[in-house]
Amino acid sequence: MIGNDSKGIALPILKAGDITGGDYSEFEPDGTLVANGDATVFDEVSQSFVGANIFTVAGRVDYNFDELTLDFAGNARYPDEPVGIVIQALHAWKTGGKVRPHIHWIQNSDNNPNILISYRVYGNGEVPPAWTLKALTSDDNVFEWSGVGMQQITEFNLADSVFSSMGLSFTIDVKIYRDTQNVSTLFSGVDSYSGVWSAKYYDIHFEMDMIGSREEFVK
């Protein structure tokens, strides 16, 4: 296929993949590589809890420097002991594409603690919206229980509509709690998970259609 440069000179547009089906990668006339349909890929942005400048209360939410986890004790409270994370979306993110936030943690019994998140999503130049609360349960876990000490991933499972209107490098703010006494009333009851909840880190998988943005502030 043929395109034109600024002087009207014909330049080739190269496409590879299932072009008819819409699943292909394309080199545009200026050399920019763009993926379409199922040709998109995923990457992740990770943020460790340990070492970040986050709010902790001794005896309720503590650093564990032996296991490099953040440990929420059985007396951790909502809304008193939040852990805060802020992540900016990748420039390579496919506008309107999939965004999958989740928590990695060490599971020591065949049930979940009362993991509560509060989140908000907004773009540059926008006023941050109100926070939204969501309970995470075993239904949000990626892996079946296999034994003490396994690394579990618990998805946020947010609706695609949360991100569909976002543009380049939007912001995701998240507060994470262990709502031991079910103060939020979003769980089935008081937390029955045995011992501390040991969180490893928080990360987001982004669907990408480009290596980056065409310009610094323009996709």
One DSSP character per residue, 94-163 reads: -TT--EEEEEEEEE-SSS---EEEEEEEE-TTS-----EEEEE-GGGBSS---STTEEEEEE----GGGT
Model pLDDT, residue 98: 96
Question: What's the pTM?
Answer: 0.86
User: Mean pLDDT, consecutive 10-residue segments, the chain of 219 residues?
Assistant: 52 85 90 91 79 58 90 93 92 96 98 98 97 98 97 98 95 96 98 96 96 89
Domain boundaries, the chain: 1-39, 40-208
How far is the C-alpha of 94 from the C-alpha of 209, rounded, in Å? 5
Model pLDDT, residue 51: 41
40-208 topology per CATH: Jelly Rolls (2.60.120)
How far is the C-alpha of 139 from the C-alpha of 84, rounded, in Å? 23
Model pLDDT, residue 210: 95
Model pLDDT, residue 58: 65
